[in-house]
């Protein structure tokens, strides 16, 4: 049976959880997908269930590509020693992309005492081995979670700690940290610890605790530019300088951000959906979503002019016509000084 879950992280986890609760052992398991946090969590739970005594005698481990399939089959034929099962554990074998046909045929006839556990990053679902695992055992693909399902997950963590947190705070938290569940859990645990004596987690708490990247600072600067908030824009610029970020680096990030905004604007003008824009740009949907308020303040031509001015500033200080720090500062002043139009 195949479970390819794109829904709630709790539902993904329950595929393995429910089999463990039933004490149901399948001939083979495949855990794969983009969300490595869920893959690793369920791998650990599954192996703890299959091998609770941490027995090494009856577990054969094969890590990485280039595995000798005949050697694996020989090991699988060996009866377990004072145990009910022999576990063949394979991680990132690449056999689900090529070279797995012989093992696929063997799994259909393997001894009942042998259990295969595959943990893979890359899987071709059309391969013979993938189809065999789907038919004979359990195939779970853990995909990156949507912002909504991540919010449900985090809200549940907060509730278990007796904390209330508004959806707007959770959304801002995900936009700040990203959708990597490992990093989200790490940062959220820090936030929970910070709010130990409080009943509710607020935006102010998040700002005190959560990591702020260089890209976050530049995005905040772009947001200030879009609002023509010159004071905040220059304050953020000076903050970056104080952090020893070189002006050319700041300008490169600014130009990159305006380039991204221009591409998004053009996509929406061509009537693409938010999800289609994210796919086209190779980013997560929340990356597009968080930029929507900024996009609403600009016309496509205005974004193009901002980018052109940034490229010109870059050329000027590279040619020695102006100091790099002054070039970026004058550019930011120009971005925020015009009345009635952007840049």
* pTM metric for this prediction: 0.66
| pLDDT tier for residue 343 given thresholds of 50, 70 and 90 | very low
Q: How far is CA 56 from the centre of its chain?
A: 33
The pLDDT value given to residue 338: 61
pLDDT tens readout for residues 182-224: 889 988 999 999 999 899 999 999 988 886 777 778 888 999 9
Co-location of 137 and 171 in the same domain:
no
Q: Is 342 part of a structural domain of the chain?
A: no
- Per 3-state DSSP, what percentage of the chain is helix, strand, and coil (rounded to 5)? 60, 10, 30
* CA dist., res. 256 & res. 270, Å (int): 21
Both structure tokens of 272? 């693409």
CA atoms of 116 and 289, how far apart (whole Å): 41
Cβ of 200: how many Cβ atoms within 10 Å?
12
Cα-based angle 173, 174, 176 (whole degrees, multiple of 5): 65
One domain, residues 240 and 307: yes
Phi-psi region of 296 (alpha: psi -120 to 50; beta: other; left: phi over 0): alpha
Chain-centroid distance of CA 240 in Å reads: 26
Q: What is the pLDDT of residues 104-162, one digit of tens each?
A: 999 999 999 999 999 999 899 999 999 999 999 999 999 888 888 899 999 999 999 99
Residue where one domain finishes, among candidates 169, 194, 209: 209
169 has a pLDDT exceeding 60: yes
My answer on whether 20 and 135 are in the same domain is yes
Q: How far apart are CA 241 and CA 263, in angstroms?
A: 28
- pLDDT at res. 328: 93
Nearest one of 140, 124, 192 to 3, comparing CA atoms: 140
Measure the CA–CA gap between 189 and 261, rounded to whole angstroms: 33
Residue found under tokens 């991204």: 260
- pLDDT at position 12 is 64
How many structural domains does the chain have? 3
Query: Is residue 179 very low, low, confident or very high in pLDDT (cuts 50, 70, 90)?
Result: confident
Distance CA 328, CA 316 (A): 10
Where residue 89 falls among pLDDT bands split at 50, 70, 90? very high
Residues 152 and 195 in one domain: yes
Domain boundary (209, 236, 252) is at 209
Least Cα distance to 313 among 247, 243, 245, 260 occurs for 247
Question: CA 204 from chain center: how many Å?
Answer: 24
List the CATH number of the domain containing 173: 1.10.8.60
How many angstroms separate the CA atoms of 325 and 53, rounded?
62
Q: Which domain holds residue 164?
A: 147-209
Beta carbons within 10 angstroms of residue 28's beta carbon: 24
Q: CA 59, CA 75: separation in Å to the nearest integer? A: 9
């Amino acid at each position: 049976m195949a479970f390819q879950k794109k829904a709630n992280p709790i539902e993904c986890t329950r595929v393995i959880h429910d089999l463990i609760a039933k004490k149901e052992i399948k001939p083979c398991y495949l855990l794969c997908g983009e969300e490595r946090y869920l893959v690793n969590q369920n791998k650990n739970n599954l192996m703890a269930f299959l091998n609770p005594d941490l027995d090494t005698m009856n577990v054969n481990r094969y890590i990485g590509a280039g595995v000798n399939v005949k050697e694996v089959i020989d090991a699988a034929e060996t009866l377990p020693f004072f145990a009910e099962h022999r576990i063949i554990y394979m991680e990132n074998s690449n056999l689900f992309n090529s070279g797995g046909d012989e093992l696929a045929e063997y799994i259909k006839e393997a001894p009942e005492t042998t259990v295969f556990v595959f943990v893979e990053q890359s899987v071709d679902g059309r391969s013979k081995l993938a189809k065999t695992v789907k038919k004979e055992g359990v195939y779970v693909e853990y995909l990156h979670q949507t912002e909504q399902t991540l919010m449900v997950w985090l809200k549940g963590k907060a509730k278990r700690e007796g904390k209330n947190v508004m959806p707007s705070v959770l959304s801002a938290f995900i936009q700040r940290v990203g959708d990597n569940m490992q990093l989200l859990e790490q940062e959220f645990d820090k936030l929970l610890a910070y709010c130990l004596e409080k009943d509710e987690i607020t935006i102010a708490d998040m700002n005190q605790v959560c990591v702020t990247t260089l890209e976050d600072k530049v995005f905040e600067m772009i947001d200030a530019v879009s609002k023509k908030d010159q004071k905040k824009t220059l304050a953020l610029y000076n903050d970056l300088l104080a952090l020893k970020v070189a002006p050319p680096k700041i300008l490169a990030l600014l130009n990159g951000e305006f380039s991204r905004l221009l591409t998004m604007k053009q996509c929406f003008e061509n009537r693409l959906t938010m999800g289609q824009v994210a796919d086209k740009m190779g980013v997560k949907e929340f990356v597009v979503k968080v930029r929507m308020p900024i996009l609403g303040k600009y016309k496509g031509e205005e974004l193009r002019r901002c980018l052109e001015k940034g490229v010109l500033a870059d050329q000027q200080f590279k040619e020695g016509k102006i100091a790099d720090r002054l070039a970026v500062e004058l550019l930011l002043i120009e971005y925020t000084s015009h009345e009635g139009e952007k840049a």
